[in-house]
Chain A
């Protein structure tokens, strides 16, 4: 086995947390270094996995978002639709999983159409109409 390389670092942690790590290390007869490294590995793996699936998870969770992205896909590719929708949500501080009808102002939908028009020759008003029809109402 290849021996691991270690790097020394200094961080400040909560006093109580420190005591708990120390106690666990004694109990398990392991070094604090191992306990902390293991915990960080788990955290990082979890975060990285979350990032991998996060991109399109909201489509399963939110039928309105799904309808919108589905309609966008008529004009641009699925990959582009996803990227644009997430970006436009982000810039308004919306969580794509928590999109509600009341958030879908004309102005928001038009910003999607404007982005789409770089990639598709869809007419602006036709685009707005399609998006509105997709989410029903209006």
Chain B
């Protein structure tokens, strides 16, 4: 039982990071129909920002704030420079554009920073272990669970209690009609990107804090996972993205814990098999919602 509880906490921590990333993908997809494959590079850029802020001698909390600010700015600029010119274009055009942005950023990281991992000086206080009764939980894992829950709560409040949040929910349903309310399309899209940047930034900080280093491809794998999570949940559905993220986290942790040693290298393959199984029964994803992408 304790072991199970322990695994549950591991799953919550990993799944939470996937959920934040999947949510960032879904927020943008729900509004402009773009699957942003450069979302991972927002994580990476956050990692570098935190890393350099620490090297320049900023205290850790300020470095984190700097990282998040850089992530939001990068997301905002990405929209302004790369995605706004192709807004309303076909899904393929949008997809190729986001691949291009992702590839360009990776090359820039490799050539302007370094192709190799750079260590990030994470404060020692974060690497401790917290013991709650029989459970041993990494400090970072604990923080990551708390931060994830706080982000989900915060986003939920934003979406339901503020006018900008209501506008985002409405835009996800029917962008053209939202413009008939007199709300500027550009500001709604910019808000969506800023939020997705913030979510990628938080996930990036949590990821770097666990790994202690940052490299040009850091964001690639987690965002691939987040993409799978968003599909499981039903692309464009925000609650679906969260559910998909946690589900994928659970599947991975359970497989890691209970697969025989010889099969462990195939863990991701098994995870993807389970995803395929989910989609066989619910091709639209778990919490699919009809999205209307019209301008």
A joins B in a complex: no
